[in-house]
Every structure is written in C-alpha cells, then in structure tokens.
Structure 1
C-alpha cells in the first residue's frame, strides 16, 4: 500500500512538472514569439523527461490498486473456507488459476492471511495454516533463539515456508522478535529483550563473544575456549 501511494505521489509530481515545463515553453513560443521552433521542441522534450516517468508511475499505481483489490477479494474467499482447491478458488474469483496463485503469494507476503498449501490434497488451507503458523511461532518462542535449519528439521517444512510464516506473522503483529535470513537465525521477543543484558565479552580473556549467551545457555569463547554462561 505504501509503495502504491509513493507511486501516486511521485507520478503526480513528475507529471505536473512535465506539464509545467511544456506549458512555459508553449507560452513562450506562441505568445511572446521569442522561442524558435527548435526551442519549442527542446522544451517539449524536457517536459517529457518528467512527464513520461510520471505517467508510467501513475499507470503502475493503477495496476497496483487493481492487484490490491483482487487480492482482498481472494483473501475474503479464502477466509470463508478452511480448505479450497486452486480451481475452485479461481472459479469463485472469476480468474485463472495462475492469477489466483500469484494473488495468494502476494496475500501471504503482505500478511493479509496465513495460507498453507497442502500438497497431499492440492488445496489451500487457511484454518490449518493458522495452526501451523502458530506452531512455528510457538517453537521460536519456546527456544528463544533458533535457526531456520532447526525449524525445518522439527516441522518438516521448507525454509521458504518458514520465512513466509515468520514475516507474515510479524506483519500481522503476532510475532515481535527479529530474524536474520542471511545468518538463518531467528530470535523471539524475549530473546531480544534478554540480549540487552547478556554478557558481550568473555570474562576470561575479554574477547567479544560471537553470540552473547541467554540465561541458561552456555557459549564457548572462540579465542580462549572458556565457557561463558548466561
């Protein structure tokens, strides 16, 4: 939504600037007769430099609005059914299966709805999807600090599925921890709070610890091998 609004704003601004430049040149050419034809062409070209990108942004914004409206329609349909096949969803949304599948991906990314695709039945699942998402967040909260690899092992889900759930739940305000996809690590809200008071340096050699230990954890210093407890 925010990106769409920015496209509207910048599209309007650039279009107005383009019109203004073109208008000034046209006025100068046709009213004062001080500009040459070459000057008129140059002015129009200069106006187009702002007007064309502005128009493109406005068109993209309108496309986004149509997509957002369609996504909301699909989300409302999904919310009415615990389970629904892509074909049935496409029929109810009056669109192709490819279009509704793309919409579902956007819905998950936006955090509008927690949706899980059951490969065994070939159905989109919402109620069970919410339960799965809550289970993943529950595991993160119980472990406080975990990794994508650990979660995939325990849940049998793919890394991308875990990421979508975490991001989706965060957008819905149901997960307030942090995540680092490059490192593959996830911290619960409690862990984030506890890390503020966790020891940052080894008490034996003073070296910076790679991972400050949380209460109940033990971390081995990479430099001297000393075991640091949280």
Structure 2
C-alpha cells in the first residue's frame, strides 16, 4: 500500500471512530465493514495508530476509540494561537461585565470555529461547545467575519457556500453583510441555538485583516433593549482591545 493511501485510510479511520451519542468504541470488524476494507488492513492501521497514541484499545472490550494524542495536538494548536492568548483575559473581563457566555471564533475556509468560551450563564452552559463549526453565512460571529473578509476572498467563500447549499437567500445574505459593515457589529436571533441572542464584533490582526470574532451569547428573555445596547458597546470595545493587542490600528 502506498504511503499516500495509508495516510488517506488512516485519516478516514480516525474520522470514522469519532465518538457520538450512540457509539464510543469500535471493533476492528465494525471498522472494516464501515470502511469496506479488509479487516487485516484495519488491524495494521490500528496497530500503528495505537503505537503513537492516536487510538486507544480497551483491553477488556478489545475495541478502539480515539486516543489522547489527538487532544494534545488540538490543545497545542489552540494554545499557540496568538489571537486566543491575546483574547482570553479580555473575554474574561467581558464575561464578568455581561454575565453572559463569551465566545471566540476563528475562520477556517468557509467555516467559523468556536475555539474558546468563557461560561457565565448557567442557562446556556455548553450549548455551543468549543470546536463547533458552522458556515460563515450563519450566526453573528461567522457573519461578522465574512462581512470584513477581503472582497475577493468573500466572493470565493460565498460561491463555495452556495455550491454547498448553505445559502438559502443570497440577496439577503449580501444585504446582511452590508448592514454589518455599516454598523460594525452583527446580531443574530436564534440563528444557531434556540431562544438566544448573539452579538459579535470583528477582531483584526496587525495587517488589519479580520482574524476572529468575539461574541456574547445570552438567552433572549434576559436581553432588554437597554441591556442589549450595553452589551453591544462592551463587545465592540473588547474587540478593539484584542485588535490593539494584535497590533491593529484599524478603525471601523
């Protein structure tokens, strides 16, 4: 088997055994059936992946699950993100002022990913977990990133989202993005999680490119008009502080 084929099958295997509500561990036979490859090949792949900690074998059940090496790699990437390190203390301060959950979102391709969260609201504990992905056309944090993405990159991302049938109304999306640029922030109601309001502002790098978004998410029942205005102001200021930490001098 060629190296490229081994890598492809290994990645497919790791993706397949990702835990879910119904299943946490897989036998070699189950993996073989799922991937439609010989069980001997599965055993060889599992043996190599287990050696480096990418999978863990339960000695009692003889079944496999994802290993901690993947977690360690993911955390090392997250911890080394300059934007996260700069944002974390400001996110904590924003959370303590608003008493709501504060999220940090970064773009990857045509998606936005929650890479950190400060939980203050017990009502929304873990409602939108770290690592959660979503298309850049959905949700305040994702839309604010898309709105401030460069024109050429934005067009490319929107084409991709349309191809994947993520955009239901292109004209409305374009109007939303224009309004976000005009206001400097994005607000969404129940866009990702039911009965929530999300307020997001863009974060810029020293090159004045949008690299992330900070957002406050709270239950819609607790956000009066005056409170919403306060949170908008606090979120905008937090985004500016993080951008300044990253060396940006951009003024919207």
| Fold similarity call, TM over 0.5 | no
**CA radius of gyration, larger in:** 1
Q: Which has the higher strand share?
A: 2
TM-score of the aligned structures, taking structure 2 as reference length: 0.25
Relative CO higher for 1 or 2, CA cutoff 8 Å, sep ≥ 6?
Answer: 2
Q: Which has the higher helix share?
A: 1
